[in-house]
Amino acid sequence: MLLSMEVFLFSAAASMAALFGGYVAFRSRQKLSLALGFTAGLILGLVAFDLLPEIFDISISQSLDIIWPMISLVSGFLLFHIIEKFILIHYGTESQYGPHQHPYVGVAGAAALSGHSFLDGLSIGIAWQVSTAVGLAVAIAVIGHRFADGFNTTNVMLYHQNRPSRAKLMLMIAAVMPIIGGLTSLLFSLSESILGIYLGFFAGFLLYIGAADILPQAHSQGSSRWTILLTVLGTVLMFLITRLA
């Protein structure tokens, strides 16, 4: 009973952090190009300083051949590229929405982030089953970067010209997912090898969203020193979050 309460409380804290990140994104949407530059930096930092080190650690501890998570990473990158192009070509809307832009592409990106949110909550629960110290450390790390996930989810939706109401809906889904993941962890445990392969797939999704989708559009109206600076700051911030957590 105590374990389930602790998992729920920390998962709920992670959800609140995501909601706050989304709130900040909505407040800054008049300067979307700057917010997109910052988002791209956060995503790059998340992949480089959080997901990839976690994949390597899992591969070592589980004697998992690193090639499988890397194949999964490339698959995730290519799959999102194919999904994006299929949506744009199928609906014939590149001229209407602009290059790489369509509401459904935004939904796909936000859905990927929601999947990560679910695993964040699952990680809190599994870590808490190991020990209180491990559970607390993982919970702090998750809460630390949930702000960025909420911020990114909202900006991905707004950039792809989704209505604010739909962006808020996807933000709410991303926010509640850690709670669902945390409670799910009380029912069973997830194989670390499977988790490592999934994280590779998710990292590929994020690399495409950040580097091939969001970042070019942040500079689509002319490069800005502030946009470049915010991209760098987003990467540095994610580095600090992952190191301090």
Is pLDDT at 212 greater than 90 in this prediction?
Answer: no
Report the distance separating Cα 64 and Cα 150, nearest Å. 31
**Strand (E) or helix (H) holding 234:** helix 225-244
Report the distance separating Cα 119 and Cα 142, nearest Å. 10
The predicted structure's pLDDT at residue 97:
44
Rounded to two decimals, what is the model's pTM?
Answer: 0.64
Banded pLDDT at 79 (limits 50, 70, 90)? confident
Domain parsing of the chain, residue ranges: 2-244
Is pLDDT at 113 greater than 50 in this prediction?
Answer: yes
CA quadruple 165, 211, 228, 120: dihedral sign? positive
